[in-house]
Amino acid sequence: SQQGEEDPQALSIQEGENATMNCSYKTSINNLQWYRQNSGRGLVHLILIRSNEREKHSGRLRVTLDTSKKSSSLLITASRAADTASYFCATGANSKLTFGKGITLSVRP
């Protein structure tokens, strides 16, 4: 069964705006990770947040984790056209990652 569920499924914003993507999951996790996939390419790891962490930053990325609600959010600030991609959350447990369906982000120049 699928673990991560992202929403929205698709997001279109103007360059410079912030993009917020959400992920919900069902079972206990060791960590939660976010990945980006550009068209025709493999997934690229963006950020990992452990189950005992609540917030993490990396450059223009901010990730939060609420284990009581089994949810996470990824915020991309000051978006750029190059941020156009699909974004996936993945929950890590028992040496295995389970990916959500992904969110398609389009950033209009």
Across the chain, how many H-helices and E-strands are there? 0, 11
Structure tokens at 7: 């929403």
Structure tokens at 17: 């705006």
Pick between residue 34 and residue 107 the one whose CB is nearest to other proteins: 34
Pick between residue 75 and residue 97 the one whose CB is nearest to other proteins: 97
The HSE-up count of residue 99 (CA atoms within 13 Å, CB side) is: 13
Q: Provide the minimum distance between the beta carbon of 9 and other proteins in the complex, in angstroms, as a whole number.
A: 10
What is the number of other CB atoms lying within 10 angstroms of the CB of residue 82?
10
The binding site for other proteins (CB under 8 A) comprises: 2, 30-31, 33, 37, 40-45, 48, 86, 88, 92-99, 101-102
Pick between residue 71 and residue 91 the one whose CB is nearest to other proteins: 91
Q: Provide the minimum distance between the beta carbon of 16 and other proteins in the complex, in angstroms, as a whole number.
A: 27
